[in-house]
Structure 1
Amino acid sequence: MSSAPGADPAPGSNPTTPTTTAKRSTFSSLKVRNYRLFATGAVISNTGTWMSRIAQDWLVLSLTGSSTAVGVTTAMQFLPMLLFGLYGGVIADRYPKRRLLLVTQSTMGLLGLLLAALTLSGHVQVWHVYAIAFLLGVVTVVDNPTRQSFVVEMVGPQDVRNAVSLNSANFQTARLIGPAVAGALITAVGSGWAFLINGLSFGAPLIGLLLMRPAELHEVQRAPRGKGQLREGLRYVAGRPDLMWTIVLVGFIGTFGFNFAIWLSAFAQGVFRSGAGTYGLFNSAMAIGSLIGALLAARRATTRMRMLLFAAMAFGLLEMVAALSPSLWIFTGLLVVIGVFGITVNTTANSSVQLGTDPAMRGRVMSLFMMVFTGGTPLGGPLVGWVTDTYGPRIGFLSGGLVSAGAAVFIAVMLARVGGLRLKVGLRSGRPHVRFVPRDGGRTAEDVTVAA
């Protein structure tokens, strides 16, 4: 790939060029032709993926009648990320990302068509769903860090925050459309057609990747083949508290707070005595909130650790409140707000980690990020499913929110200790003001990397 103007910021730095300090246009990344192609293909493919997820969860629940089985399906899809996630990052750092994506996206489309064939023929069994979910997970090990780190090659470091937020908006737009269409399809003709549409939808990103202009991609140094690259990546993160604690936080939230496939299907069927249409409604409500949160994040020029911690605490507390909601419509409304804070956690953590990482290490660091964010699901999914089956959907949802909020509080305390900070509460212009300040009264809070 040929070089392009601009260099990545130094590890841990917060770029202060005019493009990062001033408020940016919400859709500034779409001015880049390669990114437009990427985003167009992604929204079509993501819509199919969300249709497939809803159909998959409902199919497993219909075949088994068990929330634990839904949790096992989710666990099978994310188990490869837990086991092999860091190897995916090494591959993403070593090979051209556009070529890798052509391979991974093709394979995912073929797996979607296989599940469609099994379901439409009437031969599908729950172990088929488990196996295909596992194979999808294996492909995702490479696809996820490659897609995440390919963003900076398309738009450059000056627009990476905006592009990460627009990726989330893209994903949540698909999440808004996909579940609604899937709910209608499942009710009318069954899950198989949703799987078929998903398989075919992968043609869109493949066309987008083939139409890209390689000369317009930003050149990023690729890691040479060598020994010890996994250990090198882990040592790099261990030496950076700002990266390490961000990854730990998203690990807790991903493992215990994002098990919506289990909770929402259980609330639809077990609490509100409804069907697939209500399950689709719940997912669409979360998607509306997530889309709002992603668009707000796209206008944000900087990301700060305190914003991430506040969003994580609010996310957990709102889950706890939603678990106790007395009516379907109150529950649905709370899901919108949960979506706003959930995507704020995701985009803030993602862009902070990408911008704070050396370009040659980005694939490995992002693979670790995705490994703990999604790879914890094999541990959390069956456990949360068991709690939901044993004690009911409300207790299951409540426990996930409690762990998420507790993790945010714990990590806030740890970062304050690392940065030598204390909590200060006061008034500014007549309004309550909460911030971390140095214990010794020396540096300002903005001078401390982990508090920025």
Structure 2
Amino acid sequence: MQYHDFRFLITSTFFTSAGNWIQQVTLGWLAYEYTNSAFLTGAVTGIRALPFLFMGPIAGVITDRMDRKRLLIAVHLLLSLLGLSFALLIYSGNLQTWHIFVFSMLSGAGWASGNPVRQALVPNLVPQKDLMNAIALNSAAFNITRMLGPAVGGILIVAVGPATNFFIQAISFFLVTLIVIPIKIPDNNIIELSNHSFAEDLIEGIRYVVKEKTTLALVLLALVPSIFMMPFTQSLMPVFSKDILEVDANGLGYILSSMGLGAFIGTLVLASLGNFTHKGKMLFAIGILAGLSLIVFSQTKLLIFSMIVIIFQGAFQMIYHSTNNTIIQTITPNSMRGRVMSIYMLDHGLMPVGALIAGSIAQFYGADIAILIGGTITFTLFIVGIFIFKPLWDFKS
């Protein structure tokens, strides 16, 4: 935290995340209330990630060609206006199901544009020796609101209705723009203007990822939780809460907050480990444990037990993503970082596939069976991955 500009960035992460988590719990609840369909609820969550497929690589090239700070400001101004518009639509009483899908898609487009920028800025503001801790602290800012945001969102749904949540989200995103303005990127980290065409820069980024085998392994492994773990928790949590645990919006908020608590605990664990050596082995071990915790979660029937198990799931997810993120940021040159991170984050764009799979299984067999299947597949793929990606298993830094 001794780096002044990095403090501004993680503070902005806090407000970004606050708006994001309040939005997620409210949007999922709205979707299930309006459709009463596990499949459509999963689709609403999944469609939010779809823009990562077609906008992510474009945003990555832009991130490596333009002022990253200005890009971050522009994205959050647009997200703030989007949240305000949706809040007014709910407040007017004219909300229809298709509006929820459109909002989810546009919101996802904003995240697909902003996330590569935020990720690429972290190594610009801290030296490489402190990168692991910087990513952990940035994640801590995210996960503090992950603990509180869903619970607050659930309480507000019951107390004052969902429109208020989106007003709060709009305010949070506007505050981000004000916080980011003072950030100064060191001269040695400012991106030089590219002499290549947009298409050439895009192709160069793809070739780099394919050529660098460790980077390619990290990108491919990122697909596992994004298809078989995160959609089976995030998109199905409203269904699991209502149908299996038989709780209201408050209960949903408590479960999501428990996952955030686990993620925060994972942040503390990573910070205590510091720049540990065997990051490759950690990556696979945590992936296996995450699959196991999902299997156990699927068998819980009481809210308190679900909250306890999901704490472990949150911790494992956080440690996995931070470790994966740190490795890929460490081995990627600054001039390529925006493009590489946007390709790395294409896994977000495949979340709709996982959400549709999860929603379809839940529609016919129940949310508990769907989550059980997702956990089993995650567990199996990470074990197989140890043998397929042996160089990554042996990776040290």
Code of the residue aligned with 1:386 in structure 2: it is S
Match of 2:93 in 1: 122
Which string of whole-angstrom CA distances, capped at 9 and with x for unpartnered residues, describes residues 90-149 of structure 1? 111111100111110111111111110111111111111111111122222221111100
SS at match of 2:389: helix
Code of the residue aligned with 2:354 in structure 1: it is G
Match of 1:22 in 2: none
SS at match of 1:301: coil
Once the two structures are TM-superposed, the CA of residue 217 in structure 1 deviates from its matched residue by 7.8
Match of 1:399 in 2: 373
Which string of whole-angstrom CA distances, capped at 9 and with x for unpartnered residues, describes residues 36-90 of structure 1? 1222232123112211111111011100111211211122211111123211111
Match of 1:332 in 2: 307
Matched, 1:146 2:117: yes
The 8 Å contact of residues 66 and 389 in structure 1, kept in 2 or not, is answered as yes
Cα gap change, 1:369 to 1:311, in 2 (>3 Å): same
Once the two structures are TM-superposed, the CA of residue 394 in structure 1 deviates from its matched residue by 1.0
Match of 1:429 in 2: none
Within the candidate set 201, 211, 219, 1:247 is matched to: 219
Match of 1:381 in 2: 355
Which string of whole-angstrom CA distances, capped at 9 and with x for unpartnered residues, describes residues 275-308 of structure 1? 1000000001101110010122133213511100
Matched, 1:31 2:31: no
TM-score of the two chains, using structure 1 as the length reference: 0.83
The 8 Å contact of residues 229 and 375 in structure 2, kept in 1 or not, is answered as yes
Within the candidate set 256, 260, 264, 2:237 is matched to: 264
Cα gap change, 1:208 to 1:347, in 2 (>3 Å): same
Partner Cα separation in structure 2 for residue 154 and residue 347 of structure 1: 17
Partner Cα separation in structure 2 for residue 224 and residue 352 of structure 1: 29
The 8 Å contact of residues 56 and 112 in structure 2, kept in 1 or not, is answered as yes
Partner Cα separation in structure 2 for residue 118 and residue 326 of structure 1: 36
Segment drifting more, 113-122 vs 154-163: 154-163
Match of 2:281 in 1: 306
C-alpha RMSD of the superposition = 1.8
Once the two structures are TM-superposed, the CA of residue 180 in structure 1 deviates from its matched residue by 1.1
Once the two structures are TM-superposed, the CA of residue 336 in structure 1 deviates from its matched residue by 0.5
5+ long unaligned stretches in structure 1: 1-29, 420-435, 437-447
SS at match of 2:235: helix
Aligned residues: 393
SS at match of 1:146: helix
Structure ID, larger Rg:
1
Cα gap change, 1:254 to 1:395, in 2 (>3 Å): same
Code of the residue aligned with 1:84 in structure 2: it is M
Which string of whole-angstrom CA distances, capped at 9 and with x for unpartnered residues, describes residues 322-345 of structure 1? 111243222210000111111011
The 8 Å contact of residues 84 and 170 in structure 2, kept in 1 or not, is answered as yes
Cα gap change, 1:217 to 1:194, in 2 (>3 Å): farther
TM-score of the two chains, using structure 2 as the length reference: 0.94
Q: Which has the higher helix share?
A: 2
5+ long unaligned stretches in structure 2: none
Partner Cα separation in structure 2 for residue 130 and residue 207 of structure 1: 29
Partner Cα separation in structure 2 for residue 52 and residue 68 of structure 1: 19
Q: State the percentage of identical aligned residues.
A: 29
